[in-house]
């Protein structure tokens, strides 16, 4: 639901739901669950939309790391997470980092 709110143009509301989801998932799922990785990445995407780049970077990297370990580098969810990192760095005006993650996402 949080991702739907974000994509519908309300990242503030989406962030609230995704933060709560990650908190609950951390309490109930293993730390290496791909579901936790996917939701962590989605939360980071909301923070990117809100311009909270430092927080977004931490969450997006954690989400990508979990997805990479759980699903591998070629899974669409891992590639989506890499794409969100590229988007973060583009918005943050860090072109070298953005280029790196665009290349990772283009596998």
Contacts of 80 (CB under 8 A, 6+ apart): 41, 105
**Chain centroid, CA 9 distance in Å:** 17
pLDDT by residue for the chain (107 residues), tens only, comes to 999 999 999 999 999 999 999 999 999 999 999 999 999 999 999 999 999 999 999 999 999 999 999 999 999 999 999 999 999 999 999 999 999 999 999 98
Tell which residue, 61, 59, 46, has the closest CA to residue 91: 46
**CA dist list (Å): 97 to 42, 77, 103:** 19, 20, 10
HEC string for 2-16: HHHHHHCCCHHHHHH
């Amino acid at each position: 639901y949080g991702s739907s709110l974000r994509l519908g143009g309300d990242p503030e509301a989406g962030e609230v739901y995704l933060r709560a989801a990650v908190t609950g998932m951390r309490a109930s799922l293993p730390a290496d669950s791909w579901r936790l990785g996917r939701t962590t990445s989605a939360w980071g995407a909301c923070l990117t939309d809100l311009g909270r780049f430092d927080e977004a970077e931490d969450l997006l990297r954690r989400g990508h790391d979990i997805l990479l370990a759980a699903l591998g580098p070629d899974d669409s969810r891992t590639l989506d997470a890499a794409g969100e990192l590229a988007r973060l760095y583009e918005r943050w005006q860090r072109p070298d980092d953005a280029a790196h993650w665009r290349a990772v996402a283009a596998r």
